[in-house]
Amino acid sequence: MAASRYRRFLRLCEEWPAEDTKWRRDLGSFLRQRVAQAFREGENTPISDPEACDQMYESLVRIHTNFYKNKYPRLKETTFTGVTVEDCRTILATDILKQMGDMKKGTWKRLREEFSAKKPEEDLK
C-alpha cells in the first residue's frame, strides 16, 4: 500500500505547477520537498498513519483542482482593495520582494553594509 501512496504523491508533484516568479517559495516546490522527506525510502517507506496520509493527499488534490474555488464562485475577481490576482502575483514575485527589502533599509544600515564590504587591506592604506 505504501507504494501506491508514494506513486500518487509523485503524480501530484508532477502535475503541480512550479511558479518561476516565486523562486523556491511556491507551494509546488514546498510540496516536492515534503514528499521527498516523508518518503525517504521511496516505495519501501513505512507509513505510520495511513489514514492521515490519505487525508493529506485528498486535501492537496482539492487545492490543486481548485475544488473550493469552483464550488464557491466569486462574484468579482478583485479584493476589497481592488487589487486583481495578477497584481498580487506581481507584488509577491521574488524579485519585487527583494527590491522592496532593499528599499526598506535605513540609511545607517546601508552605510554600515557599504563600509563593512571593504577589504581589510583597504583599511590599512
Same-domain status, 42 and 84 = no
For the full predicted model, state whether its pTM sits above 0.75. Answer: no
pLDDT of res. 50:
87
Same-domain status, 65 and 109 = no
Q: Which residue has the cell 502575483?
A: 89
pLDDT of res. 52:
92
- pLDDT one-digit tens code per residue, 20-57: 766 677 788 889 889 888 888 888 888 888 899 999 99
pLDDT of res. 90:
75
How many domains is the chain partitioned into structurally?
Answer: 2
pLDDT of res. 94:
65
Domain range holding 20?
1-73
Look up residue 43 and give its DSSP letter: G
Of 16, 18, 1, 13, the closest CA to residue 53 belongs to 1
Q: Which three cell numbers stand for residue 65?
A: 483542482
Question: 72 in the Ramachandran plot: left (φ > 0), alpha (ψ -120 to 50) or beta?
Answer: beta
- pLDDT one-digit tens code per residue, 62-118: 999 999 989 998 887 777 777 777 777 777 776 666 666 666 667 777 777 777 765
pLDDT of res. 102:
65
Residue 125 within a domain: no
Residue 40 within a domain: yes
